[in-house]
Structures are given as structure tokens and as C-alpha cells.
Structure 1
Amino acid sequence: MLTVALFAPLLGALVLTATSRWSAFQARFIAASLSAVSLLALVAAWLAFDPAGPLFQHIEEVQWVPSLGMAYRVGVDGIALAVSTMSALLFVAAIVYPFDTKGETRQYYAWLLFLNSVSLGVFLALDLLMFYVCFDLTLVGMYFLIGRWGHGNPQLAAFKFFLYTFAGSLVLLLGIIGLYLSLDSPTFDMRVIIEQQPLAGGGIYASLVFVAMMVGLAIKTPLVPVHTWLPQAHVDAPGPASAILAGVLLKMGTYGMIRLPLAMLGETFARFALPVAVLALVAILYGSLVALGQDNLKRRIAYTSINHMGYTVLGIAVAASLIGGHEEARRLALTGATVEMVAHGLITGSLFLISGSLFQRTGDYAMERYGGLARRAPQLTALTVLAAFASLGMPGLAGFVAEFQVFTGTFAVYPWLAVLGVLGIVVTAALFLDLLRRLFFGALPEHLDDFPDLDRTEISVLGGLALGVVAIGVAPHFLLDLIEASSGLLMGGR
């Protein structure tokens, strides 16, 4: 199942690349069909997953270079399955969503499918080298999507994105090599490394490996102060690519923190848990405050991603702490961090798709150019309001479930961080209410007299994502049951 999920999009990319005879409709149909096959394979894996079973399931393995411990290894725990399924869903949404491909439809969908495949490779890999290769290749796909189909100054934004995040990947590679060299028997098998904990009590060497991994993953997340590549990349990227960048690629940083330093360097992470939690708090407050000051719609949404990824990192740091008597709180924080990854993907993915629709109708992200759209576009208004309220953590929606768990776990371990972190939620509420006021209420400018509401495809895609947001908010047990089992197993060994 996992191999099908991983290679179906890549097959589609190869089919679209092999010949130029495909029409725009055919290229879009091929892309949507094979991305949907990938999603259905992950749904099947979800249905067959046993929460009471071992940590990693659906394992598929083919040896590559046995002497060096290299192999094609894929498998999932509940955390990986939740994040990868959300990612596959978001890719389907981005591919189906209407977008002007500038006469290069075949190439556009080929790059989206390539990015789909390597992105899932990050979440499904159980081989450390395979994880890194896929982690690095995502930069290539996003570079071309921004540089070719972006707007504003897309080549500069793509260059900055690639160079900055590639530097982070190289630092991560140093950490992976350091971890690999510490093993008695060479292997890249994540299961073996997690079981052996090779750098437990490793002193300065273990600390250097941990710092290298965290710096590389923090750039991808991104955490303050290594976040400066993100706003411009989002502003100049096409709407669907922004949805993937925020909804999928940022999760590789936080997912990597769970899969690598938390699972493989537990003792070392515990020593750094408080500083990492403080950095997460800085990201929460900084992201929300800077977002509040943005007049550009896309830039405002981009800074909220820094804020929300701060919640995720805070939950991971709390899970890593070894403060006695708080095992349940740490497990709850890790579950909340994973739910936040899923919720943020659905919510912010929707917001970036909406911003893309606005840009395609007006060619502008400046919020002062809008107003009064509630009368002209009621369906757009309703779906934007729902996504905005989910992002600010309104009860009954996915964001609340995630943030409640993160802050409950944090309050038990680092109460002062939880109290300060709540201020970020207040500012987030202010910035989204202001966004809704400026876009949809007040007088309608003359240049928007003919502004069209969402079409059927846009409503279907955004409505599907909204349904997921509401389902997690109202009846989250289907997601929590999957994640909690794996969180408990990860925390049980610490």
C-alpha cells in the first residue's frame, strides 16, 4: 500500500514528462487521478492500521547496499500515517484547484506530482538516508513551481527559498552522518537506531549531533530566527504551491523533530527541551505580532504559519522533557503537536488556496484594495470565515483540539510558557478578525462590482477541506485514536 502511495504520483510525473501530446484537460486528469490513487492507498493503510499493534506497521523493505545498511524501507506509525494522509489530501486539492498554468499545464502538473511523491517519501521512510534524499528533493520541486509559475519576483523568491533551505539540509546531513558513525553496526534503519539509542549519555558529541539536526529542521519548520525565507516565498508562489509549502513542506521540519531527535536522541533532547520550548514561544508571539502588522494578505497568512508551527514545536519540546511525574502530560503534548500539524495543513492550505482565488480575480494581495465582498461572494466569505475561525482556535474546529492538548500538556510541565503562549492566541484572533473585516465588510470598491463568487470546483475543494476541519473539531476520536497509540509507545520508552 505504501509503495503504491509513494510511486503513483511519480509515475504520473513520468507519464506527463515522456510526451508533449497531452492536452491541458488530459494532463490535469492524469495528475488528479494518480494523486487520488496515492490518497486512497494511504486511506487503506489507515483502515488496516492496528493502534494496539507494534509502533511501525505496513513495513516494506528491499535491500540496496547491505554492507552500508542502506535499503528501501517504508512503514508508518500513527503519527506518520496521520501527517502523510493529510499531505496526500492536500496534494489532491492543490492539483484539482483551478489555476492559470500560463500555457504549460503538462509541466506544472508534472512538478506537482514529483513534489507529491518525494514529500510522501519523507513521511513514509524508515531509512534515514531515504528520509534525507526525499527531504532534499522537495526543494527541487518547489523551486520550479515558485520560479516558473509564481508572480512578483518569483525567481528571486525561489532562489532564496532554495539556497536557505538547502543550507539547512546540509546541516541536517552532518547530524545524520554523526549519528550513523556512532552506531556499532552501520545501518540507516530508523527502527534499529530508535531501539539502540546509540548516543544515550553521549556528552558533547551527542549535543553536536542534536544541534545539527535541530538547526536543519528548524529552518524547514521554520523557527525564529531562521524563518526569513518563508514570507517572500509564500507571497510570490502560486496559490496551490503556497498551500503545499505551508501545509506539507513545513511539516517536514516538525515531523523530522519527532522522528529523529525525539525518537533517536531522547536523552540529549531532554537536556535541550527548555531552550527549544522557549524558542517555540518566541515563534508563537513573534509570528502572531508580525502577522498583525501585515497589509499583504498572503504575507499575513505566511506569518501565522510561523506562529502555528511554534505551537507544534512547543508540544514536541514538552514531550521531550524528562521532568518527573508528567508522563501523561508529555504524551498529551505530543499528540497535540501532531494534531496541530494535520489541522494547520488543512486550515492554512485552505487559506492559501483562497488567497490564490482572490489574486486570480483581482491580481492583488493588498487588503486595502478589498472590502464588502460578503455581498458579492457569500460562499467565498463563508469558507474564509470558517478557515479563519479554525486558525484562531475556535472550539468545535480542528485548531482548538490541537492547541488545547498542546497547552494542557505544557501547563503541567512549563506553566509559565503556557501562560505566555496564550497571548499568541489572543493576537491570532485579532489578526484574523481584522483580516475578515478588511476583506468582506464595509463598502464594496467600484473595481469589485463584477467580482465573481467561487465556482463549483473551488467550492468542492474548499468544502472538502472544511469538512475535515469540522470533523476533527467535532469528533476527533478517529484521529486521536491513531495518534495517541504511537505517542504512548514513543513516550513509553523514555
Structure 2
Amino acid sequence: MNDFPFLSALVITPLLGAILVACVPRAKPFQAKAIALGVSVLVAIFAAGAALTFDYGSDAPWLQQVESYPWIPAWDLSLTWGIDGIALVLVLLTALLTPIAILAAWRDLNSLHRSVPAFFALILALQGTMLATFLAGNVLLFYIFFEAMLVPMYFLIGSYGSGPRRQYAAVKFFLYSLLGGLVMLVAVIGVWVASGGVFDWATLVGADGADPALALEAGALQNWLFLGFFLAFAIKAPFFPFHTWLPDAGGAAPAAVAALLVGVMDKIGTFAIMRYALPMFPDAAQTFAPWAIGMAVIGILYAALVAIGQTDLKRLVAYTSIAHFGFIGVGIFAFTQASATGAVLYMVNHGLATGLLFIVVGMLAARRGSSLIADYGGAAKTLPLLAGVFLLAGMASLALPGTAPFVSEFLVLLGTFSVNQPVAVISTLGIVLAAAYVLWMYQRTMQGDRNPKLDQMKAMKRDLTVREKALVTPLVVAIIFFGFYPQPLINAIEPAVENTLQYVQLDSTPDDVATGDEADE
């Protein structure tokens, strides 16, 4: 089993599955759905295999299960895949959310005048390209898939989204991301020139134990290359002020697609900061850390305030995600073991909570035919189970103790407080504002006086179906389980975080807090 190429299988399987599903005749939608679901389950099995064969020891190699295949010999390029603890937990998140998203969209597409096979083929293509970005072992390969994943998401929003502005949202998403990617391409070429023609990530940063091929002195060149990468990642995340595409895209996309967009795709930006920006440009990372933290803190407060004023459920959830990414940004650039571990943990837990929240909102919108908050009111009286899941997702979104995001937020704030008390204190205001917008959202939709129009709709009297229970249960269980026992995720994350922070030379301080096994001792 240790010799099985799990990483190649994780990339190739969904891409081949996408081709297979795309070839299914449009008149056979069930066959397309079944194949897509089967492929996504197979991908989940491969992800579990990668997790079971992963070495969680502190002395294990940084990049594990490395696979390398000849690609472009003239440039000495290979197709290289590798995985560390940060990539592993995000791969598992992707493998979990994709079949859930497929099940969530199972019935919704029947009323659309678009090809069902094409939709599910695009979902699998999106999954394959996202997994490739997490597993890429060289910078050029990462860049190719970083840009390639824009294509399926563009069509999923523009062709299968809802609302009169879906085309606008799709184009805005594509142009923002493409602009960031083109700036990064210039920086990628700069890295190739500065390193003497090296794209292999482990060689560039010296993760293989050798001297780093990219050993730039602190100064203008390193700063500009860092900014080239950081801009692309900040747009993808998205960080304030590069966030404006997300509310439009999240509001227009089908709920299942929005769950993948915010739950997984956006994490590629924060993941890439940890994987590429910090170890490749450590001095520049320290130079621009105050600016990055400032952007993150503004994002926390601004997005939370704007979320309070939203009238559309999907746009509200999108704005909450911008605030959450602010916490992730603070955790990364505080440069402490606890804050960075909490930031990576936040990536996973935010994907679980926000993925569930988008899916529940999609269930409500499918029943009511609207995602406007004003069209609801008192819905819990006939949808008690759906209302209960909605409440849990909302409580997880505001990081209530006992839910998985609480552990992440606690580590981020505790680790940040040890080195930057004002930032930690100001960031906590985001928690208060989160309680306001979540409780307001739930009160207006589920509680209070019942909207008379709901009694005229049979769908608004149909609680969770068997299919819907099956797709929300894994997320509910994960949110509660990791809320009380996050250690399995921390065991995977901590070694990779330690390796990353060694490059910025602030991997620990006397006042830092322990996590993982150290905390148990």
C-alpha cells in the first residue's frame, strides 16, 4: 500500500472522471450524477489512503510521498507531486466536500435548462485542479493548475448560477483571479531566473536538506517577488481590499458550488502563502507582515459590519467568510507556532462550517425559490430539523465553544496575543459582530412571526429528506468532533508549520503558547 501512487491518483482520477461524465448523453442525467458521485467517493478513498500512509512524526520529511515523472526534459522539469501536513488536511477537506456538493446539487439541476452531465463534469474538473494545487511539487506546476481551476468555476457560476448578475459575477471572478495570476507568472519567471533555472519547490527552499537554490538577499528583488506571489494569493483568499469579487460570485453561484468556492478554492490562497511566500521570501514576509496583518484586521471588522446589513443569505455568508479569512491572515503573519497552527486549522474548520452553511442556505432557497431574508420568517415551525442544522452551522460560523472553528480562533488569538496584543484585542471585536449577524440571520429566517406566504408552499413544509440528512451528517459530525478533539488535525499540521516558520526565524518565542503534544504535557 505504501508504494501505491496516491497523489497521482488524487489528481488523475477526478480529471478522467470529468471527461467520462462529459461524454454522457444529456438525456441521461442520472447516469452522469451516479458516475460523478462514484468518482468523488473513489477520490475520497485515495485521500484516506494518503492520510493512512502519512508519517506524522516530528522527524519525518517535510514533503512526503513524493512522486516525480519526466515532463519537459529540455527545461529539466518533472511532474512532481508531494504532500505535507498542511496540504494533507486540505486534501481531506476537498475529498469530503466534493461528494457532499454533488449530493447537494442532485435535485436542484432538474429545473435548469442546462446540461446536467456538463455541470457534474465541471465539478470533477474543479476538484482535480484544486487537488493538483495542493499537491504540486514545483512552482510552475502549481501556477498552471492555479490558473486552470478558474475555467470550471467560471462556467459553474456563469452558466449554472442564479440571478440577473451571474454573468457579471463570473466575469468579475475570472478577471480578478486572472490578473493576480498574471502578476504571479512574472514573479514565477523571476524565481526561475534568480535560482538559475529551478522550479522544484524542495530545491528552491532547501526542504530536501541541501542549500536553497533560491537564496535571495533581503532587498528590492525579494520584496518584489514576494509581492508578485502575495497579490495573487490575497485575491484568491480573498483579503481586504481584494475581496469584492467574492460576495458577487458566492451570491450568484449554486449553493453546492459556493460551498466548494468558499470552502476549498479560497483556501488555496492562504495555503500558498504558507507553502510558497513565507519559505521562499522570508525577509520580505517579515517586512510586509505589518501590512498583511493590517489588511486582515480591517477585513475582519469591515466584512462583519457589512454582513450585518445584507438582505441576501448567500451574500451574507460570503461576507462572513471574508471576516474569517482575516483571522487566518492574522494567524499566519503573527509568526508564532500557535497562531500559524490555528490559522491552518481555521482553513479546515471554516471549510466545514461555511460549506454546511451554504448547503443549508441552498436547501432553503430551493424550497422557497428565494435567498432573500425578507422572504422567510418562522420557517422553523415546519422545518425543525433543517432549522436545527442551520443553527448549528451558524453557531460554528461564529466559533461557539464546542464547535470546530472555536479551537482555531482561540489558537489564532492566543498565539497573536503573545506577540501583538493590540491586534489580538481588536480582532476579538469580530467575534462580537459575528454573533450579531448570525443571530440576526437566524432570527429573521427561522424564528419570529411566520411569513403567511410560507404556508402556501408545500416545499416549505417538507423537512430534511433522506438524501439531505445523508449529506449534512458528515459535516455536523466533523464540526462537533473536531470541536472537542482537534488533535488528529493538529498532529498533521504542526510539523509543517514548524518547518515553515523556521524560514522567517520567528518560529517560537518565550511567551508563545504550546499546542498539540506539548500542551498535553
Please classify the TM superposition score into its range, dividing by the shorter chain length: over 0.9
Give the Å deviation of 1:176.
1.5
Match of 2:100 in 1: 93
Aligned residues of 2:311 and 2:372 also touching (Cα < 8 A): yes
Q: Write the deviation string for residues 81-114 of structure 1: whole angstroms up to 9, x where unpaired.
A: 0011101211111012134222521111011111
Task: Find 2:52's aligned residue among 47, 53, 57.
Answer: 47
Match of 2:509 in 1: none
Match of 1:343 in 2: 349
Task: Find 1:176's aligned residue among 175, 178, 188.
Answer: 188
Match of 1:59 in 2: 66
Q: State how far apart, in whole Å, the 1-side matches of 2:393 and 2:247 are.
A: 20
Whichever residue aligns with residue 178 of structure 1, its letter is G
Match of 1:326 in 2: none
Give the Å deviation of 1:47.
1.3
Match of 1:2 in 2: 7
Task: Find 2:168's aligned residue among 156, 168, 189.
Answer: 156
Q: Is 2:259 aligned against 1:243?
A: yes
Q: Structure 1 residues 69, 309: closer, same or farther in 2, change over 3 A? A: farther
Aligned residues of 2:275 and 2:500 also touching (Cα < 8 A): no
Is the partner of 2:418 in helix, strand or coil?
A: helix
Whichever residue aligns with residue 204 of structure 2, its letter is I
Structure 1: unaligned runs, 5 residues or longer: 320-329
Aligned residues of 1:200 and 1:267 also touching (Cα < 8 A): no
Match of 1:212 in 2: 228
Q: Is 2:282 aligned against 1:266?
A: yes
Aligned residues of 1:22 and 1:106 also touching (Cα < 8 A): no
Match of 2:378 in 1: 372
Match of 2:18 in 1: 13
Whichever residue aligns with residue 337 of structure 2, its letter is R
Match of 2:496 in 1: 486
Q: State how far apart, in whole Å, the 2-side matches of 1:273 and 1:51 are.
A: 29
Q: Structure 1 residues 3, 480: closer, same or farther in 2, change over 3 A? A: same
Match of 1:105 in 2: 116
Q: State how far apart, in whole Å, the 2-side matches of 1:167 and 1:21 are.
A: 34
Structure 2: unaligned runs, 5 residues or longer: 1-5, 207-211, 506-521
Task: Find 1:360's aligned residue among 356, 366, 371.
Answer: 366
Q: Is 2:242 aligned against 1:231?
A: no
Give the Å deviation of 1:34.
0.7
Q: Structure 1 residues 286, 428: closer, same or farther in 2, change over 3 A? A: same
Match of 1:70 in 2: 77
Q: Is 2:150 aligned against 1:139?
A: yes
Q: State how far apart, in whole Å, the 1-side matches of 2:189 and 2:290 are.
A: 26
Match of 1:470 in 2: 480
Q: State how far apart, in whole Å, the 1-side matches of 2:467 and 2:141 are.
A: 36
Aligned residues: 483
Aligned residues of 1:111 and 1:141 also touching (Cα < 8 A): yes
Task: Find 1:120's aligned residue among 128, 131, 134.
Answer: 131
Give the Å deviation of 1:491.
2.4
Match of 1:385 in 2: 391
Whichever residue aligns with residue 338 of structure 2, its letter is L
Q: State how far apart, in whole Å, the 2-side matches of 1:416 and 1:200 are.
A: 32
Whichever residue aligns with residue 25 of structure 1, its letter is F
Please, what is the CA RMSD of the aligned residues?
1.3
Task: Find 1:198's aligned residue among 191, 211, 214.
Answer: 214
Q: Write the deviation string for residues 4-36 of structure 1: whole angstroms up to 9, x where unpaired.
A: 111111111111223427722211111011111
Whichever residue aligns with residue 167 of structure 1, its letter is L
Is the partner of 1:258 in helix, strand or coil?
A: helix
Higher deviation after alignment, 34-43 or 193-202: 193-202
Q: Write the deviation string for residues 297-353 of structure 1: whole angstroms up to 9, x where unpaired.
A: 11111101100011111111112xxxxxxxxxx111111111100011111111111
Give the Å deviation of 1:200.
3.5
Q: What's the TM-score, normalizing by structure 1?
A: 0.95
Match of 1:255 in 2: 271
Aligned residues of 1:9 and 1:38 also touching (Cα < 8 A): yes
Task: Find 1:410's aligned residue among 416, 422, 436.
Answer: 416
Q: Write the deviation string for residues 37-81 of structure 1: whole angstroms up to 9, x where unpaired.
A: 111111111111112211111111102123424211111000000
Runs of 4 or more, structure 1, over 4 Å off, are: none
Aligned residues of 1:199 and 1:206 also touching (Cα < 8 A): no
Q: State how far apart, in whole Å, the 2-side matches of 1:413 and 1:193 are.
A: 30
Is the partner of 1:58 in helix, strand or coil?
A: strand
Q: State how far apart, in whole Å, the 2-side matches of 1:231 and 1:50 are.
A: 39
Is the partner of 2:71 in helix, strand or coil?
A: strand
Q: Calculate percent identity across the aligned residue pairs.
A: 37
Q: State how far apart, in whole Å, the 2-side matches of 1:156 and 1:278 are.
A: 30
Is the partner of 2:66 in helix, strand or coil?
A: strand
Structure 1 segment 326-341 matched on structure 2, within 5 A: 330-341=336-347
Aligned residues of 1:200 and 1:266 also touching (Cα < 8 A): no
Q: What's the TM-score, normalizing by structure 2?
A: 0.91
Give the Å deviation of 1:197.
6.3
Task: Find 1:275's aligned residue among 256, 276, 291.
Answer: 291
Is the partner of 1:365 in helix, strand or coil?
A: coil
Q: State how far apart, in whole Å, the 2-side matches of 1:312 and 1:180 are.
A: 29
